[in-house]
Structure 1
Amino acid sequence: MNLNDLSLEAVPKTFYTFENINCLFLSNNAIKCLPPEVKHLKNLEVLVMKNNLLTSLPVELYSLFDLAILDISENTITEFPLELRKLENLTELIANDNRLTAIPHSIGEMTSLRILGLNDNRLTTLPDSVHRLPNLEILGLARNDLEFLSPEICRIRSLVRLDLSGNKITNLPRELENLDKLEQLLLDNNEFEFIPAQIYWLDSLVELGVSGNRISMIQPEIGRLCKLKVFGINDNELREIPKEFCQCTELEVVGFENNRIKMLPSNIAELYQLKELYVGNNEIDEITEDVCWCSALTVLSLIKNRISQLPVEIENLKKLRTLHLSDNEFDSVPRAIGTLHELEILDIDGNHLHELPPEFGDLGKVTHLNLSRNKFQLFPYAVCMVNTLEVLRLAENNISNIHMDISRLETLRVLDVRRNKLEGLVKDLRGLKSLEIANFAENQLSDIPEDICELETLVDLDISNNAFVDFPKTVLSIPNLVTLRCDQEKGLKIACLPDEIEFSSVETLIVSNNALQTLPNTINGMKNLTCLVAHHNQIEFLPSTLCELEDLEVLHLNDNNLTVLPENFDQLVKLKELSLQNNPLRTPPMDVCVSGVLQPIGRFIRKAVERDELLLSRMFDVIKVSLTKHELRYLMKKWGFPGEKMAELEQHFHGNAKLKDRIYHALLFWKEFKGTMATADELVRVFHLIGNSNLSNKLRAMKIYSQALKL
C-alpha cells in the first residue's frame, strides 16, 4: 500500500482493518504518531515512514513479529524502548536523521539484523551488546557525536560496510583488524591526524574514505590493501604520496584533492586499472609521462595546480572521457590532445591560452568545452570543427568576433561568450539548431541579427551590458524564448522598450539599469509574463495595461521615479513579490506599497515586513554563534536543502574557523529557498522541533520584544 506524499496527518483507523497488507509506505507526510490499532496488521513485513513528525513508536508496533524492514528516517524520535527486541525477524532497521541519543542494550537480541542505519543522530556510543548481531553487514553511524569506536563493534565479524563519517573520532581500536569481511570503511570528516595502522590489515577492504581530516602522511603499509578499488583522502594535509601506494593495483578511483602534494609518484603507472584520478587544488607543477601510462583512465582532474604543460605521451590515454585542467599555467594545448578520441568533457578555463592547435578539431566526441578566462583574441576556429559540442564556454577572453563557421555546431545547446569584446554576431545563426541558452552579456554589441528569430529552441538569452542605442527588436521574435535579460548596469542605457514587445513569448524579463521612463502600453500582450524586473530606471508612471497581466507573479521596480500606481493595480491577483523601494510614491504612500500590498491591509503588512526583516537579521546573528556543525547539517536536511547546496556551503566555508560564515550563508539560503515562509515564527518553531529549547526560547523572546517596540 503506497500512501507516500499525501500530506496525511494520520492514517484512518479503518485502514488498520486490512489485515492482509504486507507492505505499507507512508513517507513524506505529516504523521505525528501511529495509533495502537497498528497491532492488527499482523502480516506486515515492510513499514516505511520516512520524513514525518514521529517522536516515538507505539508499543503495539513491536507485536508485528513478521516485520522485516522498518524505515523511520527523518523524524524526531529520541529513543527506542526495550520492546524493540521483540522484532526478532527484523533484517533492516533504518533510523537515520532522528534525535536518538542512545540505543537500548536489548538491540543485541535482534539477531536477524543485516542493516542498521543510525546516521545523523546524536549518539555518543553504542551498547556493548551490539557485538551479538551475527548477521549485521551494514552499520551506518555517520554524523553523530562519536569520539571513539567501541571495540565491541569490531567483534561483528559479518560487517561489510561501516560508515563513521562526520564524527569526532581521532583513532580506532586495534580490534578493527578482526573485521576480515569489511569492504567499505568511511571515516571522512573526523579528526584523524594519521591513518590508523589497523586499517592496513583489512585484507577485504574495497573502499576507504578519509577525506576531511588532518592527515599529513600515508604510511607505506597502505600497499597491503591489495583489493582496494576506491580511495578518498581529499581535504587533508598531505605533502607526498608514498611509492607503496601504487602497490594497490586494483585501485579504480582515487581522490587527493585539496592537499599540498607537489608531485605524483613515479611508479603510478603500476595502477593499471585506475579509471578516475582527482588531484586538483594541490601544488603540482609538472605531470610526468608516468601518469600517461595509466591507460584505463577515464577521468583526470588536475585543476588548481601550477602545471604549464602535459607530456606528449598523454595520447596513450585512449579511454579518457573527462579532462579537467582549469586554473593552471597552460599557455598552449598539447597537440596530442587531438588524439583523445573518447574525450567528452574538457575544461581548460583559467589559463593563458591564446590559440588552439588544428588537431583540436579531431576531437570527435567532445560535448562540453570550457575555454573561459584565457587570453583568446580570435575566436578559436578549431572549435567549429568539433561538431559534437553541446556546451561551449568562452567567457572572459578578448574575442572581438565569432567565427562564421560556428553555425556548423548543430548540436550546441549552451553558448557562453560573456565578458569579451564582441562588436557583432555572425549574420547566419540558423545552423545552431539546438541552441537553448546564449549569454552575450558584457560585450560591445550594438545590434542582434535578424536570423536569431529562427532559433526555435532558444529559451534563455542574456544581452546585458552591451552598446545598444535602442532595444534590439529582433530578440522579441524568438518564438520560444522564456527568459530575456537586458540589464545595462555597465552598458549603454536604453531609453524605451518597443511596442513590439507584445509579440514576445517571454516569461521572465529583466531590464534593470536602463533609462526607461515608462513601459509600453502594449505590454498587456505579453500573456506569458510572470516576472518583470526593472530596477534602477527612470520610470515615472506605469501604464494601466500592465495590470492586465493575469499571470504576473513578480514585479520589481526599485529605484525609479514612481509617484503613483495605476488605479487597477489590485487586478494583479497572482502577484507574489512586489518591490518598489526608493520611489517617491505618494498615491498610495510608500508605507502601503513596499511589501506588495493589493488590499488596504497592506499598510500593516508593510510595517510587519520591515520589522520582520530586521528581526530575522538579529536572529541570524544569534543563531550563527549558537550551532555546532552537526546541528547545522541536521537543520539543513530538515529544511530540505538540495544536496549540492549543502556540499557547496561545506566546501566554501570549510572548517571550524568558518563555521559562523557557513551558518550565516545557510540561513541566507534558507530565507531565499523558503521565500514567504522564512519567518521569525518558523525559526522559533524549527528550533523547538529539533529539541534546541534554549535557542528557541531566546528567539521567541526576541520576537516578543520586537512586538513590544512596535506597540
Structure 2
Amino acid sequence: MSCGLGPACEEPGSSQQRSDPIQVLRMLTELNLGNNIFEEVPEQLKYLNSLQKLHLFGNKIATISPTIFDGLEKLTLLNLNNNRLKYLPPEIHRLENLEYMSLNNNQIGSIPKELCSLEKLSELHLSYNCLIMVPEEIGYMTNLRMLCLSRNQIEVLPDGLCKLRKLRILDVAGNRIRVFPTAMEDLLLMGLKELYCEDNPLLQKQPVCAIQEEEMLSLTEMTARFILRELNEKDSVLQTAVKQNQEVGKLLSEKCVCAVCGQAFLTTRLECVCFMHVKQKMKISRNIHLLPVRKLICSFQCFNLRDHGFFGVAES
C-alpha cells in the first residue's frame, strides 16, 4: 500500500495501478509537516495546487528547490521557522498571493530583492538570522503591516522602509543600528504603532567638540550642484540634455537634499542626526525616548546656521 508523498505502487499480480496519492491531496488547503527531519522541502508539494497554508517549522531544511513555487500560487501562509536555510531562491516571487511568511531562527544572510515584489504580504518575520542589510526594494511591499528583523547583524536600514505606509509594527531589536533612515518621521506620522529597537548601539545626544575641515568640492560635485539647480528651472535647456544622456541621468538621480537649505547635491555631504521625541501613545522599547534619525547637510555653511537642531556624527 502506498503512503506519504511518494509515487503509488502497483500491487503484485495486479494490472491496475492505484491512483497517485498526490491526486487525492490536490484539494488540500492546509498542510502541517512541522517538527520532522526533512532536509529539503519535498518537491512533490508543487502539485498541491489548492494549498493555502504550509507549515514546515522545526525541520533540518537547508535548501529550497526553485521548482517548488511553480504550483503553489494559492499559498497565503508559509512557516519555515527553526530550520537551516542560508538563502532564499529568487523564484520565491512566484508566491504572489502570500500574506504571511515566517523564517525565524535560520541562517539567512540576505533578502533577495525578488521577495520584495510580494505586494500582498502583510507579515514578514526574519528574526534570529544572519542578515547584514535590508534591500531598498522593501518599499515595494505596500501592504506590509508587521516587519520583524530582530537579532540579526543589520547596520543600516534603507530609506525604502519609510515608504511602507501600512506598517504598524517594526521590530529591529538586537542589531547594529546607530541611526534610523532620513524619512523615519514620515513612517511615524503614517501610523506606526509599535517600534522595538533595544540592544542597538543607537547614537546618544551627547555633544562633543569637533574640528571643521576646510571644504573642497570636487569638479564633479560643483558641476552636479549647478546642473541640479538649473533643472529646477522650467525652461532649462539642460533638461533635454540630461534626458538624452542616460549615464548622467542615473548619476543625478542619486542626489540628496540638504536638510537645512533644501538644495540638491551629489556626494559631498555632512552626516548629521536629529533626535525625534517618540510619540507617547506609541509602544516602544523601554527607556528609549529620543530616536536618532539620519540627516544630510550640504555644507558647513548650512551646518553652522543656528537653531536647525541637527548634530554632526562623531566618529567612535
TM-score normalised by length of structure 1: 0.28
**Unpaired stretches in structure 2, ≥5 consecutive residues:** 10-19, 206-273, 292-316
Matches within 5 A, 1:83-482: 106-107=21-22, 109-155=24-70, 156-271=72-187, 272-286=190-204, 288=274, 290=276, 292=278, 298-302=282-286, 310=290
Residues 633-677 of structure 1 show CA distances to partners (whole Å, capped at 9, x for unaligned) of xxxxxxxxxxxxxxxxxxxxxxxxxxxxxxxxxxxxxxxxxxxxx
Shift of 1:151: 2.0
- In the alignment, the residues of structure 1 paired with residue 23 and residue 98 of structure 2 have an alpha-carbon distance, to the nearest angstrom, of 20
**Maintained 8 Å contact 2:106/2:129:** yes
Change (3 A) 1:106 1:259: same
Residues 667-702 of structure 1 show CA distances to partners (whole Å, capped at 9, x for unaligned) of xxxxxxxxxxxxxxxxxxxxxxxxxxxxxxxxxxxx
Shift of 1:213: 0.8
Shift of 1:150: 2.2
Highest RCO, 1 vs 2 (Cα 8 Å, sep ≥ 6)? 2
- In the alignment, the residues of structure 2 paired with residue 291 and residue 154 of structure 1 have an alpha-carbon distance, to the nearest angstrom, of 44
Change (3 A) 1:127 1:107: farther
Change (3 A) 1:117 1:241: same
**Maintained 8 Å contact 2:276/2:290:** no
Shift of 1:261: 0.9
Task: Provide the secondary structure at the position in 2 that maps to 1:191.
Answer: coil
Task: Provide the secondary structure at the position in 2 that maps to 1:176.
Answer: helix
How many positions carry a matched residue from both structures? 210
Task: Provide the secondary structure at the position in 2 that maps to 1:116.
Answer: strand
Matches within 5 A, 1:545-694: none
- In the alignment, the residues of structure 2 paired with residue 201 and residue 301 of structure 1 have an alpha-carbon distance, to the nearest angstrom, of 30
Letter in 2 for 1:285: L
Question: What is the root-mean-square deviation in Å for CA atoms of aligned residues?
Answer: 2.7
Residues 589-648 of structure 1 show CA distances to partners (whole Å, capped at 9, x for unaligned) of xxxxxxxxxxxxxxxxxxxxxxxxxxxxxxxxxxxxxxxxxxxxxxxxxxxxxxxxxxxx
Change (3 A) 1:136 1:177: same
- In the alignment, the residues of structure 1 paired with residue 277 and residue 30 of structure 2 have an alpha-carbon distance, to the nearest angstrom, of 40
- In the alignment, the residues of structure 2 paired with residue 120 and residue 227 of structure 1 have an alpha-carbon distance, to the nearest angstrom, of 30
- In the alignment, the residues of structure 2 paired with residue 275 and residue 161 of structure 1 have an alpha-carbon distance, to the nearest angstrom, of 24
**Maintained 8 Å contact 1:266/1:290:** no
Shift of 1:129: 2.6
Change (3 A) 1:213 1:300: same
Letter in 2 for 1:298: M
- In the alignment, the residues of structure 2 paired with residue 291 and residue 223 of structure 1 have an alpha-carbon distance, to the nearest angstrom, of 24
- In the alignment, the residues of structure 1 paired with residue 137 and residue 290 of structure 2 have an alpha-carbon distance, to the nearest angstrom, of 31
Structure in which a larger fraction of residues adopt strand: 2
- In the alignment, the residues of structure 1 paired with residue 78 and residue 204 of structure 2 have an alpha-carbon distance, to the nearest angstrom, of 37
Change (3 A) 1:169 1:83: closer
Residues 37-82 of structure 1 show CA distances to partners (whole Å, capped at 9, x for unaligned) of xxxxxxxxxxxxxxxxxxxxxx8xx9xxxxxxxxxxxxxxxx8486
Shift of 1:283: 0.7
Change (3 A) 1:134 1:268: same
Task: Quote the sequence identity (%).
Answer: 28
**Maintained 8 Å contact 1:130/1:152:** no
**Maintained 8 Å contact 1:280/1:301:** yes
Change (3 A) 1:83 1:178: closer
**Unpaired stretches in structure 1, ≥5 consecutive residues:** 1-58, 63-78, 86-104, 312-711
TM-score normalised by length of structure 2: 0.60
- In the alignment, the residues of structure 1 paired with residue 172 and residue 166 of structure 2 have an alpha-carbon distance, to the nearest angstrom, of 17
Letter in 2 for 1:185: M
Change (3 A) 1:164 1:233: same
Task: Provide the secondary structure at the position in 2 that maps to 1:111.
Answer: helix
Letter in 2 for 1:299: K
**Maintained 8 Å contact 2:41/2:61:** no
Change (3 A) 1:248 1:291: farther
Between structure 1 and structure 2, the one with the greater Rg is 1
Aligned to 1:363: none
- In the alignment, the residues of structure 1 paired with residue 65 and residue 200 of structure 2 have an alpha-carbon distance, to the nearest angstrom, of 35
Change (3 A) 1:290 1:224: farther
Shift of 1:240: 1.8
Structure in which a larger fraction of residues adopt helix: 1
Change (3 A) 1:108 1:233: farther
Letter in 1 for 2:44: S
Aligned to 1:407: none
Shift of 1:145: 0.7
Task: Provide the secondary structure at the position in 1 that maps to 2:147.
Answer: strand
